[in-house]
Amino acid sequence: MFPRIVLAPLLGLLISTTSAQEEIAPAQQQSAIAKLSSQPGAEADRQILALFDRLDAHDLPSACWLELLEAAAVRLDPAVKARLAAYEKSTNESRDALRRFRECVEGGDAARGREIFLNDPRAGCIRCHRVSGAGGEIGPDLTSVRQVTDRVFILESIVEPSTVITNGFPHVLLKLASGEMISGIAGFESSEEVLLISTIDGKRRRIRVAEITERTALPSAMPAGFGQILGKRAVRDLVEFLATVE
């Protein structure tokens, strides 16, 4: 679609109406907005301000939010800087910690997300989670996560993991009658035993319930600040991968 369309007319469509936006593929919208970061002159700044107007009116596709914020971040125009600062201020002051990553819900690259999941050492996803038969078994299998939840839940699981611990995978600290303290993921529980999976090496240990004298719930085994570690682009790509993986 639009094989020869130039930047200015495409941005004009983006800024004009919602119906016009719907005619443009998301990847083209993202590319056009991203190019504003390097376009010289006041016209690019005007376009960015117009896109902020659509963002404030909840009328800009969420797949384009990150491109807009990134483009604005490198512009020198005072008005653009002020709009970006106002957006960041309202975001940082929100009690909803997830709001700082709202631009990561849609618009990612699933192929890049898959690469992050499988190979990025900062993420380490594959060590604990399985997808399509590959990976660890410390945490839940994420192959079919899209069938049981939505993108916002997936995003929250990445950036605020302790608030959305998956049912059946609580992180616990157990005190045994012998005095031993042991922590891990309770992968299986019955009235007689608990299967504890080490978050360090994935080793499994069956513990009789009769041996447990005290149990304490722990935060998620995923590291705090995971979103800051990966960065918003990587988080968005990871959400896209997990929301579409089969």
Whichever domain contains 151, its CATH number is 1.10.760.10
One domain for residues 65 and 140: no
Q: Tell whether 80 and 26 lie within a shared domain.
A: yes
Cβ atoms of 116 and 125 within 8 Å: the answer is yes
- Whether residue 102 lies inside any domain: the answer is no
> The domain containing residue 198 runs over which residues?
171-217
Whether residues 15 and 121 share a domain: the answer is no
- Quote the mean pLDDT of the chain: 83
- Looking at the structure, tell me whether residues 147 and 238 fall in a common domain: yes
Angle between helix 26-34 and 7-16 (nearest 10): 110
Q: Are residues 240 and 159 in the same domain?
A: yes
Q: Does position 15 have pLDDT exceeding 70, yes or no?
A: no
Using one digit for the tens of pLDDT, what is the confidence trace for 78-125?
A: 999 999 999 999 988 887 778 889 999 999 999 999 999 889 888 888
Non-local CB neighbours of 87 within 8 Å, separated by 6+ positions = 52, 55, 69
| Cβ neighbours of 85 (radius 10 Å) | 11
Given this model, what pLDDT does residue 103 score?
94
Residue 176 located in a structural domain: yes
Q: How far apart are CA 199 and CA 241, in angstroms?
A: 24
Confidence category of residue 46, pLDDT binned at 50, 70, 90: very high
Q: 9-18, 198-207, 227-236 — which is least confidently predicted? A: 9-18
Phi, psi of 141 (to 5 degrees): -70, 125
Q: Is residue 66 part of a domain?
A: yes
Q: Identify the pLDDT of residue 5.
A: 39
Residues 115, 183 within the same domain: no
CATH number at residue 182: 2.30.30.100
d(CA 124, CA 126): 6
Residue ending a domain, choose from 93, 127, 154: 93
Residue 164 has pLDDT above 60, yes or no: no
Query: In the predicted model, what is the mean pLDDT of residues 135-163?
Result: 77
Higher pLDDT, 46 or 228: 46
Specify if 101 maps to a domain.
no
34 and 79 housed in the same domain: yes
Query: In the chain, how many domains are there?
Result: 3
> Looking at the structure, do residues 122 and 232 belong to the same domain, yes or no?
yes
Percent of the chain with pLDDT over 70: 84
Same domain, 87 and 120: no
If you ran DSSP here, which 8-state letter would residue 176 be given? Answer: E
